[in-house]
Amino acid sequence: MTGFALGAEQEEWCGQLRALAADRLRPLADKGEPGRVNRPLLAALGELGLLERVFTSGALELCLLRESLAYGCTEAETALALQGLGAHPVLASGTPEQRARWLPEVRAGRAVAAFALSEPGAGSDAAALALEAVRDTGGGADRDGGWRLSGEKCWISNAPEADFYTVFARTGEGPAAKGVTAFLVPADRLGLSGEPLDMLSPHPIGRLSFDGVPVGPQDLLGEPGRGFRVAMDTLNRFRPSVGAFAVGMARAALDATLAYTAARRAFGGVLGDLQAVGHRVAEMATRTEAARLLVYAAAGAYDAGSPDVPRRSAMAKLLATETAQYVVDHAVQLHGAVALQRGHLLEHLYREVRAPRIYEGASEVQRTIIAKELYR
């Protein structure tokens, strides 16, 4: 990429991804059951090598991947992103044994990963998490030096159907964020149970209960007391690409609106001839382009190792997700009642676009991060 313009090869790749999402992945997504892991879709993402790209790509390439998939199939984009979010801590902080056991399965779409950070009382304030890890003094030689996890996680994507969880628990080495440790917990670990939540989401979101779940040194992701850094490093990598997901949805809504208003006859012409409509579409396009450029800039800063990644990532996620909400909402308005019919692209996007303003740090949290970084 030169400046803020994509190169010819990047543009061609994005076009291929959009076509692949529409032609190959959309039919698999349509066959999936809402609120359940779509394993055939995951398998296709693995077969096509797209899951591999989540772990080998730089931040900019990951953004292009997520934006392009979101344009043609939001379910495929989300399935891919959740694999990355849940397994990136294993790649970045896991032991060789953990990586060898889980990453090939995740890349192939055979194992489902999940990122278990949020709790009933610790959503936006992630440092306030209460899942407790107590030293296990009576577990025998195989648990020597281990812990028992007790508590609850909530609003966890892919729960309770994931095959393993990246879990953040309080081990108490220090106050607040300084006393959090990250663990890799297989779904079949004794004492771990879960239940689905009925959410506005095509993928599963659930609650996890930890009833003295045993974990040992072999389950650590990084060092004790350093888990919050594992979480934030993961979120800093993925926040710009959440913005890319939003940009993909905004661009799909914008293109649908351009096509509709250029053809829909009303008041002696087409809708696009009306100044009010043209100005609205111009605003939608301008905001989408601004969000896209900010996402690419944040991703480029991450790839360059810039010290201002937290601020740029927060700005990118904030602007892109808020913009996507604006664009999709106005696209629905310009389409009228037809856009509210079940199965219409905009009806689908209207449901999908709301959640990214909340997860991986709500818009209000992003503003707080930006302000803190500015005053630092």
What pLDDT tens digit does each residue of the chain (376 aa) get?
445 678 899 999 999 999 999 999 999 999 999 899 999 999 999 999 999 999 999 999 999 999 999 999 999 999 999 999 999 999 999 999 999 999 999 999 999 999 999 999 877 777 788 899 999 876 544 445 799 999 999 999 999 999 999 999 999 877 777 889 999 999 999 999 999 999 988 889 999 999 999 999 999 999 999 999 999 999 888 889 999 999 999 999 999 999 999 999 988 999 999 999 999 999 999 999 999 999 999 999 999 999 999 999 999 999 999 999 999 999 999 999 999 999 999 999 999 999 999 988 899 999 999 999 999 8
Query: Distance between CA 147 and CA 364 in Å, rounded?
Result: 34
233 plus 176 within the same structural domain: no
Residue 1 lies in a domain: no
- Domain of 175, in residue numbers: 113-224
Cis amide bond preceding 224, omega within 30: no
Q: Is 360 a catalytic residue?
A: yes
264 plus 219 within the same structural domain: no
Backbone angles phi, psi at 265, to 5 degrees: -85, 135
Query: Distance between CA 376 and CA 369 in Å, rounded?
Result: 10
Which residues are bridge partners to 155 per DSSP?
A: none
Token pair recorded at residue 273: 């001839």
CATH code, domain carrying 75: 1.10.540.10
42 plus 120 within the same structural domain: no
What domain count does the chain have? 3
C-alpha gyration radius of the chain: 21
Q: Which of 93, 108, 123 is the last residue of a domain?
A: 108
Nearest CA to 151 out of 173, 178, 177, 170 is that of 170
CATH code, domain carrying 174: 2.40.110.10
219 plus 248 within the same structural domain: no
Q: Of the listed 9, 47, 360, 364, which one is catalytic? A: 360
Residue 2 lies in a domain: no
Q: Which of 82, 108, 134 is the last residue of a domain?
A: 108
Eight-state DSSP code of residue 2: B
Residues 341, 263: contact at Cβ < 8 Å? no
CB atoms within 10 A of CB 237: 20
168 plus 291 within the same structural domain: no
Q: What is the pTM of this model?
A: 0.92
Q: Which of 198, 224, 250 is the last residue of a domain?
A: 224
268 plus 361 within the same structural domain: yes
Strands (E), the chain: 113-116, 132-135, 147-157, 164-170, 180-186, 192-196, 205-215, 265-266, 269-270
